[in-house]
């Protein structure tokens, strides 16, 4: 298709239509598709909304085909619509929530999950997913931490690359390829007070070093679209923030794809106090290079008037429409507008046995074992009591589970009873009647819809009834295994007396089966915390990679040092922490010089030893600090990690190559700094318990 020719034939109304995205129910009454956010009555005339160039969400192949037929029938130039949806952690075969995927510290699993999601999505003719969400966050009060990859820049970057590569299954014109729309640009995970949609204000030094890297990785991985964030970014709504979109996203970061607003966000720039009214919002959006407005109709309604009044230019519209048409060409929609939408493909591919089996295998590495005094694995135990609100629950998919059906989930009661005698199953915390069992499995945490969009909370403590139950069981000498469910870090302070604690997250379609495999020891847990677990919600925002401050906490003389009077300032469980059923040790075996100039990579070889008879997977993590440094460096910053399988009593060599890329720090003008310094490398199996390597960093003269 010759996009330039097509563009030149289009009327202004047709061009403004391409810049508008509406939900399918506006096209057909029958549509039952869920639209996230309140759908205001847009007062659009039929001949207006039928011009829409893309559709938000779709139920299935039948609905997609009928909506595409309606749009093509009314399109004078037969321009097909793009169909986009929130395929965040699966289409109908649902995988662990993204935060749980990050807990695996194994990005390849995410790549495989997203490839399956892309194939299932293609059966309904979905062309673009609004994912990955790559908003780094240090604040568990923000409900959307479940949708991201945690507090660390490197883990965010690795997961982002894997997520985009997974959706990009095959070639863009192939059926089964899902274009990706990374989001939300920018800094949405830093919403003040963890309150969703709230203000975001940060220095450019922090943005460049902490929040921007994962967006850059999405761009470099070829993500075709970028969704702007609801929040203001340094005083201006991201949706109309020209510095953000033009100077940073396009010029500095090199993004050359389609920029879309979040749901109704262009209209909401009036509520922000930026735009006078919808007409002004449309003007600001066009000047900011916003190409598609989702769920509102200011472009369709006011675009022609703004053009006639000389407030916007035809070039601004043409540049946007060109990109939208080019994306449709990139995906082969002019040749095949339905691209895989078919009931027969739905029947064979969606929730297929192959996909469901994969959901088990790909989820096993997400749960995090926080404590185990030897009570796990349960393979030796036979009589179990199961208690707590999740004991018979099927609501284990996690928020954003698109077409996933909880009703098809197995419960713990079902999966555990296949291998052991469940003496009793109760959804309460009442354990007073329990005796003569080998152990109690106590399920607790927050529900799957207690996190996600617009689900900010300050109450993240575990239900006190759980700790009361643990006390009772311990008095009766009954071992207690606690399964914590959550889409965000929770405060586990009240349950640390339990004999074992597993953070299960929400693992999707095969949640209960996966946890049962781990409880039975069919596989050792290998997850690591992608976000620190707090002692109190008041510690947020918090992360392991904070600065030292000029008065670092000194336990021997804490008077005038950074601290809280009423709580230990460290996390209850640190970033990168997680146990296995085994025990591993690590030793550096490279003979290192005590200085380095960066002219060639620094190679570190470690030996990891499995001192147990379990098959385990351990994550060796490498952190760094540089002192002195301006700007200052975090006390620790993760620069490498590797997950390693270890057979019983096996010793394995693991190699890392440290490059000057790992040492980069940006100032507020994005200049890089490598000043001579003492480089401290720290290694271990979590961010707290590490051993140090001290190196005199003297950058080679050609390293500026
Ligand atoms: C929502 C979310 C965004 C999602 C969009 C479409 O409000 O903020 O992440 O992709 O609307 O559902």
| pTM (two decimals) | 0.97
Is residue 262 one of the residues assigned to a domain?
yes
* Pairing between β-strand 128-129 and β-strand 82-85 as defined by DSSP bridges: parallel
pLDDT (tens digit, 9 = 90+) per residue, 186-213?
Answer: 999 999 999 999 999 999 999 999 999 9
Check if the beta carbon of residue 359 is closer than 8 Å to that of residue 509: yes
**Structural domain containing residue 271:** 1-84+239-350
403 in the same domain as 281: no
CA distance 146 to 133: 10
Q: By alpha-carbon position, which residue is closest to atom 7 of ligand 1?
A: 263
Predicted confidence at residue 250, as pLDDT, reads 98
Q: Which long-range contacts (CB under 8 A, 24 or more apart) does 313-317 make?
A: 314/12, 316/286, 316/287, 316/289, 317/12, 317/15, 317/16, 317/19, 317/286
Residue 328 phi/psi, 5-degree rounding, is -65, -40
637 in the same domain as 503: no
Residue bearing tokens 């209850």: 572
Residues within a 6 A CB radius of ligand 1: 36-37, 86, 130, 183, 262-263, 453
Task: Using most ligand atoms within 8 A of CB, pick from 226, 453, 454, 456 the residue to mutate for ligand 1.
Answer: 453
Q: Within 10 A of 45 (CB to CB), how many other CB atoms are there? A: 9
Instruction: Calculate ∠ Cα 345-347-352, nearest 5°.
Output: 100
Q: What is the mean pLDDT of the segment spanning 63-80? A: 95
Nearest CA to 397 out of 115, 35, 89 is that of 89
Check if the beta carbon of residue 534 is closer than 8 Å to that of residue 140: yes
Predicted confidence at residue 377, as pLDDT, reads 96
452 in the same domain as 379: yes
Boundary-marking domain end, from 539, 555, 575: 539
- Domain total of the chain: 3
Q: Is 526 helix (H, G, I), strand (E, B) or coil?
A: coil
Q: By alpha-carbon position, which residue is closest to atom 12 of ligand 1?
A: 36
318 in the same domain as 262: yes
Q: By alpha-carbon position, which residue is closest to atom 10 of ligand 1?
A: 130
Ligand 1 centroid vs 263 CA: distance in angstroms?
Answer: 6
Q: What is the mean pLDDT of the segment spanning 678-697? A: 98
Boundary-marking domain end, from 309, 334, 350: 350
Check if the beta carbon of residue 175 is closer than 8 Å to that of residue 122: yes
Helix axes 153-167, 212-220, angle to 10 degrees: 30
Ligand 1 centroid vs 227 CA: distance in angstroms?
Answer: 9
CA distance 285 to 443: 48
Predicted confidence at residue 228, as pLDDT, reads 98
Q: Is the pLDDT of residue 30 over 60?
A: no
658 in the same domain as 600: yes
Is residue 573 one of the residues assigned to a domain?
no
Task: Using most ligand atoms within 8 A of CB, pick from 24, 56, 130 the residue to mutate for ligand 1.
Answer: 130
CA distance 140 to 127: 32
pLDDT (tens digit, 9 = 90+) per residue, 671-685?
Answer: 998 889 999 999 999
CATH assignment at residue 641 = 2.60.40.10
Nearest CA to 681 out of 632, 639, 629 is that of 639
The percent of residues in the chain predicted with pLDDT above 90, rounded, is 93
Q: Within 10 A of 40 (CB to CB), how many other CB atoms are there? A: 11
* Residues in the chain, total: 704
pLDDT (tens digit, 9 = 90+) per residue, 421-439?
Answer: 999 999 999 999 999 999 9
Q: Is the pLDDT of residue 34 over 70?
A: no
Nearest CA to 572 out of 532, 541, 529 is that of 532
Boundary-marking domain end, from 320, 350, 380: 350
CA distance 365 to 642: 14
Residue 568 banded pLDDT, cuts 50, 70, 90? very high
Q: Is the pLDDT of residue 243 over 70?
A: yes
Check if the beta carbon of residue 526 is closer than 8 Å to that of residue 643: yes
């Amino acid at each position: 298709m010759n996009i330039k020719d097509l563009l030149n034939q289009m009327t202004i109304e047709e061009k403004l239509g391409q810049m508008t995205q509406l939900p399918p129910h506006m096209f057909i009454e029958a549509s039952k598709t869920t639209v996230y956010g309140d759908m205001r009555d847009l007062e659009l005339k039929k001949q207006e909304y039928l011009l829409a160039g893309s559709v938000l969400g779709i139920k299935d192949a039948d609905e997609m085909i009928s909506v595409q037929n309606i749009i093509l029938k009314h399109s004078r130039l037969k321009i097909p619509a793009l169909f986009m949806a929130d395929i965040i952690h699966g289409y109908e075969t649902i995988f662990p929530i993204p935060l749980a995927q990050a807990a695996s510290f194994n990005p390849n699993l995410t790549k495989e999950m997203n490839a399956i999601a892309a194939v299932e999505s293609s059966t309904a003719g979905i062309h673009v997913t609004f994912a990955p969400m790559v908003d780094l966050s240090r604040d568990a009060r923000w409900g959307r931490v479940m949708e991201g990859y945690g507090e660390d820049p490197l883990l965010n970057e690795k997961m982002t690359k894997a997520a985009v590569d997974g959706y990009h299954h095959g070639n863009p014109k192939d059926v089964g390829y899902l274009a990706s729309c990374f989001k939300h640009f920018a800094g949405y995970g830093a919403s003040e007070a963890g309150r969703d949609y709230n203000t975001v204000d940060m220095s450019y030094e922090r943005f460049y070093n902490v929040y921007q890297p994962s967006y850059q990785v999405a761009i470099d991985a070829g993500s075709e679209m970028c969704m702007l964030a609801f929040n203001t970014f340094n005083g201006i709504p991201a949706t109309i923030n020209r510095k953000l979109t033009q100077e940073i996203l396009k010029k500095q970061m090199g993004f050359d794809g389609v920029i879309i607003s979040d749901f109704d966000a262009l209209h909401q720039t009036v509520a922000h106090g930026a735009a006078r009214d919808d007409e002004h919002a449309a003007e600001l959006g066009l000047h900011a290079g916003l190409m598609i407005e989702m769920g509102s109709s200011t472009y369709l309604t006011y675009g022609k008037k703004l053009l006639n009044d000389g407030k916007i230019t035809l070039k601004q519209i043409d540049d946007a429409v060109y990109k939208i048409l080019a994306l449709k060409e990139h995906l082969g929609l002019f040749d095949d507008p339905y691209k895989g939408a078919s009931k027969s493909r739905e029947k064979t591919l969606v929730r297929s046995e192959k996909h469901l089996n994969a959901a088990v295998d790909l989820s096993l590495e997400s749960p995090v074992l926080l404590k185990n005094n030897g009570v796990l694995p349960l393979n030796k135990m036979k009589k179990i009591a199961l208690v707590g609100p999740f004991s018979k629950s099927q609501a284990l998919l996690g928020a954003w589970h698109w077409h996933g059906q909880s009703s098809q989930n197995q419960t713990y009661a079902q999966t555990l009873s296949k291998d052991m005698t469940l003496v009793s199953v109760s959804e309460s915390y009442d354990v007073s009647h329990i005796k003569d069992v080998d152990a109690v499995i106590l399920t607790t945490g927050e529900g799957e819809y207690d996190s996600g969009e617009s689900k900010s909370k300050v109450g993240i403590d575990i239900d006190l009834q759980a700790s009361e139950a643990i006390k009772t069981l311990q008095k009766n000498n009954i071992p207690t295994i606690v399964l914590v469910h959550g889409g965000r870090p929770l405060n586990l302070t009240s349950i640390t007396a339990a004999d074992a604690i597993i953070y299960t997250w929400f693992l999707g379609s095969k949640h209960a089966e996966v946890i049962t495999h781990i409880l039975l020891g069919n596989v050792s847990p290998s997850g690591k915390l992608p976000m620190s677990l707090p002692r109190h919600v008041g510690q947020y925002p918090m992360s392991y990679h904070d600065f030292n401050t000029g008065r670092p906490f000194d336990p021997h003389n804490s008077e005038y040092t950074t601290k809280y009077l009423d709580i230990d300032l460290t996390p209850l469980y640190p970033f990168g922490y997680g146990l296995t059923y085994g025990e591993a040790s690590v030793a550096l075996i490279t003979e290192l010089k005590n200085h380095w100039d960066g002219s060639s990579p620094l190679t570190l070889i470690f030996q990891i030893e499995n001192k147990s008879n379990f098959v385990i997977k351990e994550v060796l993590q490498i952190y760094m600090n540089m002192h002195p440094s301006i700007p200052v460096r975090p006390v620790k910053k993760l620069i490498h990690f590797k997950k390693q399988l270890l057979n019983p009593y096996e010793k394995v060599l693991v190699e890392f190559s440290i490059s000057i890329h790992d040492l980069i720090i940006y100032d507020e003008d994005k200049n890089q700094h490598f000043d001579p310094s003492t480089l401290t490398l720290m290694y271990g199996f979590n961010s707290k318990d590490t051993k140090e390597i001290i190196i005199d960093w003297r950058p080679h003269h050609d390293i500026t």
